[in-house]
Amino acid sequence: MSIETYKAYEKDVDFINRYMKAKNAAIGSEVDANSNVANKNIATMAPEIHKRSNINANRLWMYKRIKELYGKDMANEYIRQLEDHEIYRHDESGMPIGTPYCASITLYPFLVDGLSKIGGTSSAPHHYKSFLGGFINLVFAVSAQLCGAVATPEFLAYMDHFIRKEYGNDYYTKPEQVVNMVTGETIEDIVLQGFAQVVYSINQPAAARGSQSVFWNIAYFDKPYFEQLFEGFVFPDGDTMQWESVSWLQKKFMKWFNAERLKNVITFPVETLSLLNDGKEYVDKEWADFAAEMYAEGHSFFTYTSDSVDSLASCCRLRNGIQDNQFSYTLGAGGVSTGSKCVMTINVNRLVQNATKDMKLGIQKYNDWNSDVDKAIRSKVTEQVEKIHKYLLAFNSIVLEMRDAHMIPIYDAGFVSPEKQYLTVGINGLVEAAEYLRIFVGDNEDYRSFVHAVLEPIYEANKAAKTKEVMFNTEYVPAENLGVKNAKWDKKDGYVVPRDCYNSYFYVVEDETTSPIEKFRLHGLRYTDKLDGGSALHCNLDEHLSKPQYEFLLNLAIKEGTPYFTFNIPNTVCNDCGYISKHKLDKCPKCGSENIDYATRVIGYLTRVSKWSAERQAEHARRYYASSTSN
Amino acid sequence: MILYSTTTCPMCHMLAAKMDEKGIKYDKVTDTNILEEKGIMHVPILETDDGSRMNLAEAMYYINNLEGHE
């Protein structure tokens, strides 16, 4: 064999040389950069080399399956749409074809079978410590079978069960009680050690996923949601759920996690608090008050609110006819036994520009929303969503084939069922498409009409295509990479591109004129009622608000029907002494160093800005953090 | 007895396994249309021959105390 044989791999050697010199792992990555990689090293480099091959293999398999199901023309159209960047299939590069995207799992099978049915040797946990250890292994094992996040909404409720087994049902009333006479440890010490064990272990980079830590989400519930989700619930040993101690444990975890983030930039878990409202106020006032308290103390978490207790998925509740919009945002938690098998995202900016170009109408005409534009966009979206449903169904058939071949043990073991996971139509470039049409991106009728022209046809198609076996939803995807890619591709192909990273929100991220109140409105019911998979409002602020101010915004969420939101205030991290402040500062308040970094949410998860890709760092530099005194 | 369940419910699987282990005979209904017609919005539900219904906690207690099935 001559050296010529190996020259085909010259590009890999070149890539390795470039990667070694890159400033961070995200910048070194040339396909699907990800900020969830704390350090650049040989383990993070290894999967990067194969990303292009993975994409090609994924496309070939999809081509064959689409051809088999819908004919050659549709298969060719899939490839054309991907190559022309009209659509994007998420996570083509990292995992083999047929890997489901994300899942919110039930932990029940873990209590019955341990890890034995997903390739492990641990049997069901019977004690607090075996629960904690087994749970960590479970999260890693489940994540290895998914491209994206794993949510464990029941984590704290199950942890509570095991604490009660060891220290009694009233443990939460006597946290100061010493339970280890040798060390002097109290019940509270044992609980906090459990938190630390799980959180620090799960944030450890996992070699199986290119040295990213796993994407892990948890949920907190108010009393009404808790009672609805766990109605009739019985642990395998006959024990039932106990709200009072779970509530105490949830609060304890939030307080602990907030304080711990002063010691380290800890990315996971992404937390979602679910609060039920009655259309006017929060039903559980104690938990609404606690949410405002935690935000005021500088904790950053997502809040989900709805006036329907049925809006959260459950492994064992039957959904009723009222609820079309079951909450299942890929970044958050909330419901149990839900998720998404695959996300394919429409490049809305390109679609809208193509739709109007086909009509040979110049953009100067669009000063006001009009029926021609409305009709053209709806028609193009309808045509697109019909195709995307077919692509998603083809992917679904591959997932089911994998399941039937027992290649996805989390299905066999009952942690989640494919029927409970959505097939997701993503959208990106919505704001940029509105700007192209000369629509002012803000709370106004033109923008609202435009948003509905895009979302309504997808919503209707999703509803019409729903069967007992498959469900579709639509999500305003976080698009950590895609926002950058679409902007780059569109600019190269001559489309109008107003910025180098498309927005992930209904507002323009750098716009200083959109107030926090208007942002809540733009992510509220008037705009998102046809977005059946959800969007996340990131209310970026330059400083923390007071508790009454957060109470006002929490109540505003009810008024505007804003279901899912968080507040981002950049934390300052000193690169010299390691001090972390919850405030956005110009220099370290402890040592005075100006060698500082910030930690904030790149999209849904919180990391150091210096770990982001170059384009995302540029986006962060433009990102507007509203003053706490703005309206 | 009738066990109302769904194919995706892990608690249903556990209850069914428990009943199988005890040798209790039962019919299983998993059709969600039938469950909804009967007003069952949460599973598992165990219905005894006299028509009374039990949730998982009640069903576990019931089958654990059934005479002749130890």
CB burial of A432-470 (b: ≥16 within 10 Å; e: otherwise) equals bbbbbbebebbbeebbebbbbbbbbbbbebbeebeeeeb
The tokens describing A56, both together, are 């090609």
Task: Give the pLDDT mean for A569-583.
Answer: 94
Residue among A106, A240, A320 whose CB faces B10 most closely: A106
Q: How far apart are CA B17 and CA B14, in angstroms?
A: 5
Q: Are the C-beta atoms of B40 and B63 separated by less than 8 Å?
A: no
For chain B, what are the domain ranges?
Answer: 2-64
Residue of B nearest to A229 (CA): B42
The pLDDT confidence band at residue A325, using thresholds 50, 70 and 90, is very low
Whether ipTM > 0.85 holds is: no
Instruction: Specify the amino acid at residue A125.
Output: P
- For residues A224 and A235, what is the distance between their CA atoms, to the nearest angstrom? 20
Only one residue has tokens 């079951």, namely A326
Q: How far apart are the first and last CA of chain A?
A: 71
Residue A324 has pLDDT above 50, yes or no: no
3-state secondary structure A363-393: HHHCCCCCHHHHHHHHHHHHHHHHHHHHHHH
Residues of chain B in contact with residue A231, where contact means CB-CB under 8 angstroms, are 42, 55
**Residue A196: which pLDDT band, with cuts at 50, 70 and 90?**
very high
Q: Does A414 touch chain B (CB under 8 A)?
A: yes
User: Mean of the pLDDT values across residues A594-606?
Assistant: 88
Span A379-394, average pLDDT: 98
Which amino acid type is present at position A172?
A: Y
| Spatial distance between the Cα atoms of A609 and A598, rounded to a whole number of angstroms | 6
Strands A102-104, A338-347: pairing kind = antiparallel
Structure tokens at A448: 């609202």
* Per-residue model confidence (pLDDT) at position A323: 43
At A283-297, the pLDDT tens digits run 999 999 999 999 999
Any idea of the CA torsion for A201, A204, A208, A210, to the nearest 10 degrees?
Answer: 160
pLDDT in the model for residue A178: 97
Say yes or no for a CB contact (<8 Å) between A238 and B61: yes
Select the more confidently predicted residue: A186 or A360: A186
pLDDT of amino acid A16: 82
Under 8 Å between Cβ of A209 and A48 = no
Under 8 Å CB pairs connecting chains A and B tally to 61
Q: Which of these ranges, A15-29, A84-98, A224-238, A494-508, has the smallest mean pLDDT?
A: A15-29
Whether chain B has a CB inside 8 Å of the CB on A161: the answer is no
A320 touches chain B (CB under 8 A): yes
In angstroms, the CA B1 to CA B35 distance is 15
Over residues A401-415, the mean pLDDT reads 92
Give the pLDDT of residue A327: 54
The candidate with the shortest Cα–Cα distance to A541, out of A437, A630, A617, A479, is A630
**What residue in A sits closest to B8 (Cα-Cα)?**
A417
Most confident of A203-207, A221-225, A605-609: A221-225
Question: In the beta sheet, which residues pair with residue A303?
Answer: A273, A565
Q: What are B's interface residues with A at a Cβ cutoff of 8 A?
A: 6-14, 32, 35-36, 40-44, 55-57, 60-61, 64
Letter for the amino acid at A387? K
- Checking if the pLDDT of A628 tops 70, the result is no
Q: A361 versus A321: which is more confidently predicted?
A: A361
Q: A122 vs A458, which has greater pLDDT?
A: A458
* Domain over B2-64 is classified CATH 3.30.200.20: no
User: Of A479, A483, A432, A514, which is closest to residue A603 (Cα–Cα)?
Assistant: A479
Report the DSSP pairing between strands A422-428 and A338-347.
Answer: parallel
pTM for the model stands at: 0.90
pLDDT in tens, B39-50: 888 889 999 999
Residues A127-177: pLDDT tens digits? Answer: 999 999 999 999 999 998 998 889 999 999 999 999 999 999 999 999 999
- The whole-angstrom distance between B42's CA and the closest CA on chain A is 4
Q: Residue B48 has what pLDDT?
A: 92
